[in-house]
A and B are shown apart, each in its own frame.
Chain A
Amino acid sequence: DTAVSQTPKYLVTQMGNDKSIKCEQNLGHDTMYWYKQDSKKFLKIMFSYNNKELIINETVPNRFSPKSPDKAHLNLHINSLELGDSAVYFCASSQLPQRVAYEQYFGPGTRLTVT
């Protein structure tokens, strides 16, 4: 009964390649997120989707394109991978409505290594 799942768990690829990471949540949440955690452990939001609609796009390069086919799924496609893209990518989800304290549930992470 994994609440937020991601695939793959590890991804090793060469510079210039295109790759995708998939995320699914079975919590019935309305909002999903992608975070990037670099080697120094900084955790930074990249995107937020609310009911399949893009809400937050945090100055992420155009090479990163999120897609939400339905509110339970949020995928991340990365074009022309660069060395600096190496990081752990976390998907998360949370409930709305607004103005209520809510918890974000994180997926297990995808460790991307670009060589």
Chain B
Amino acid sequence: GENVEQHPSTLSVQEGDSAVIKCTYSDSASNYFPWYKQELGKRPQLIIDIRSNVGEKKDQRIAVTLNKTAKHFSLHITETQPEDSAVYFCATRVERGTASKLTFGTGTRLQVTL
């Protein structure tokens, strides 16, 4: 089955700095790559996603890059703010027949300090 590795597991940055989280995956059939943000005690929420036919996508301060050949994708957050502090999960989607499954990475705890 799909294996998604995520690094780092924890990341501490100063407010205003950039943060980068990286994921690698194993299944070349993966065709969709979302990123979820989970604040303490809350539900995971989608913040950005990218399809397999796109190399980069940006939405204000967040961007995602995808390298399908190398099977890795990254989340970039610029000008970090304290409200960016949360756990971030990458995920990949693989379709097998009628089944479509998201496999999540192990999460990165981002702490933005003042």
Contact = CB atoms under 8 A, between A and B. Distances in A.
A107 B43 contact: yes
Interface residues of A, number: 23
A1 to B, nearest CB: 15
Interface of B: 31-32, 34, 38, 42-46, 49, 51, 87, 89, 95, 98-104, 106-107, 109
Residue among A44, A96, A104, A108 with the most chain B CB within 10 A?
A104
A104 B46 CA distance: 8
Tell me the dominant secondary structure on chain B's binding face: strand
Contact of B101 (A45, A107, A108): A45
B107 A55 contact: no
Contacts of B98: 50, 55, 98
Contact of B32 (A31, A101, A109): A101
13 contacts: A41-B106, A42-B106, A43-B44, A43-B107, A45-B103, A56-B101, A96-B100, A102-B32, A104-B34, A104-B46, A104-B102, A106-B44, A106-B45
Interface in A71-115: 90, 96, 98-99, 101-104, 106-109
A98 B95 contact: yes
A90 B36 CA distance: 14
Interface in A7-46: 31, 40-45
